[in-house]
Amino acid sequence: MTVAQPTKPGHELSGNKVVLRRLSPSDLSALATHQRQDDWAPDFPQPGDLDAADLVPAETELPRYGAYLVVERDTGQIVGTAGFQGPVMDGELEIGYGIVPSARRRGYATECLKLLVRFASTEPDVEILTAHTEEPNIPSQNVLLNVGFMPAETDGPYLTFHHALAPVSRYIGNRP
């Protein structure tokens, strides 16, 4: 198993509806201590947002493939989290996203996912993105399908989706 080492992180990914802003040490502290911030939507954070913050290592240098706050462009409010659950292992990188209930059905999850896919597609060590969603979460499955992810397998209560970014080797191990 090979693990790709991260390089210098990108701090912001911009779309038409949302901006993805890297979680900073002060963002992580606010989430960890449940200190409400003025720019948080009333229903932010959700449990998944706290989980995303827990995945960011407590190091000075943020990993290249990390978590972002989802900022609603029109209001400047934080309406969710999105990002990568790195490191890259054998060309595969896990991706995740979550939008608060008050900001759903506006295309934010789709735009977040497109921004993350675009960013990952410029990275030479990333060949496949993987996402998981609960089987009853049809809206999330539709977002994944609309952005080009394909169902791969069922793993307990979760469905797995893959998005190929680069040609994947047809051989596992040594070529015949």
Average pLDDT of adjacent 10-residue blocks, the chain of 176 residues:
40 92 86 90 90 62 75 96 87 93 96 94 90 92 96 83 73 46
Q: What is the pLDDT of residue 1?
A: 36
pLDDT score at 171? 45
What is the signed CA dihedral for 23, 27, 33, 38, rounded to 10 degrees? -130
User: Which pTM value belongs to this model?
Assistant: 0.83
Contacts of 91 (CB under 8 A, 6+ apart): 4, 125, 126, 127, 128, 166, 168
DSSP track, 18-68: EEEEEPPHHHHHHHHHT---TTB-TTPPPHHHHHHHHTS-SSSSPPSS-EE
Please give the single-letter amino acid code of residue 164.
A
Structure confidence at residue 70 (pLDDT): 96
Output the pLDDT for position 95: 94
> Is CATH 3.40.630.30 the classification given to domain 12-164?
yes
In DSSP terms, 40 is beta-bridged to 78
Paired residues of 94 in beta bridges: 85, 130
> Domains of the chain: which residue ranges?
12-164
82 strand-pairing partners: 97
Q: Strand 128-134 and strand 92-99: pairing?
A: parallel
The CA distance from 77 to 11, in Å, is 17
Q: What is the pLDDT of residue 170?
A: 43
- Contacts of 165-169 with CB under 8 Å at 24 or more apart are 165/117, 165/120, 165/121, 165/126, 165/127, 165/128, 165/129, 166/91, 166/126, 166/127, 167/127, 168/91, 168/127, 168/128
